[in-house]
Structure 1
Amino acid sequence: MASLRRHSPIESGRGGDGIVSQVSDYPIVRKGKGKACDAAYVAKRLLKSTGKAAWIAATTFIVLGLPLIIEMDREAQFNEAEMQQASLLGGVSPAQPAFVNPPK
């Protein structure tokens, strides 16, 4: 009885080794795999160190930059409130200087 099994085009007749396994034994393929693994390792390390740097930058901004921004906003609001109060009370407007040089 004839075999009903079809041979895959990937398989070759030599000991059941497929074309893929034969091609993967070529030195150029091994070098390519090695370079690809090296590139993946470098990319992984780069992403890891970039993540660490981003973490450091973000926490530094939160600890140092954010309170500074909040304090500057409070100061601006305080100055605006003082100007409104001065204009309501009839004080010197911010456009006019507090002193006027007398003519000579």
Structure 2
Amino acid sequence: MASVGGKRFSLTGSTNNNKDEGVLSKISRSSIVTKGKEAACGATYVGKKLAKSTGKAAWLVATTVLVLGLPLMIVMDREQQLNELDLQQASLLGAPPASVVVPQK
């Protein structure tokens, strides 16, 4: 509490008289502040739901890539290594390199 000109006042409420309200208690009960609090609570709720659903989607994508994509990449890499080995053996044996035949329409 502060003393101004012999009078005491408080921001939150008066201790001398219960009828007098403090500035902060008036402000905190105003319609603008209550609507702001409601908007903040709503935004927090939406943010939490969005973060939760984003996490679920990230988990789904990551597990799908691990289960389906990783074995596919391993098989494709093995196939490429086998093709390179065949070309290398063919060049050592003196055979002409295999050319890719493009079908004509």
Mapped to 1, the partners of 2:54 and 2:100 lie a distance apart of 53
Q: Secondary structure at the match of 2:29?
A: coil
Mapped to 2, the partners of 1:96 and 1:66 lie a distance apart of 28
Flag structure 1 segments of 5+ consecutive residues without an equivalent. Answer: 98-104
- In proportion to residue count, which structure has more strand? 2
Q: Structure 1, residues 10-62: CA drift from partner, whole Å, max 9, x if none? A: 93384255433321110110011001100100010000000001001100000
Mapped to 1, the partners of 2:64 and 2:13 lie a distance apart of 64
> Percent identity of the aligned residues?
52
Superposed counterparts of 1:1-104, under 5 Å: 6=2, 11-12=10-11, 14-16=13-15, 18-95=22-99
Flag structure 2 segments of 5+ consecutive residues without an equivalent. Answer: 4-8, 16-20
Instruction: Give the letter for the 1:67 counterpart.
Output: P
How many residues align structurally? 91
Q: Indicate the RMSD between aligned Cα atoms, in angstroms.
A: 2.5
Mapped to 2, the partners of 1:42 and 1:64 lie a distance apart of 33
Relative to the length of structure 2, the TM-score reads 0.74
Relative to the length of structure 1, the TM-score reads 0.75
Mapped to 2, the partners of 1:76 and 1:11 lie a distance apart of 81
Cα distance 1:13–1:36, how it changes in 2: closer, same or farther (>3 A)?
A: closer
Of structures 1 and 2, the one with the larger relative CO (CA 8 A, separation 6+) is 2
Instruction: Give the letter for the 2:14 counterpart.
Output: G
Deviation at 1:6, TM superposition (A): 4.2
Deviation at 1:96, TM superposition (A): 8.6
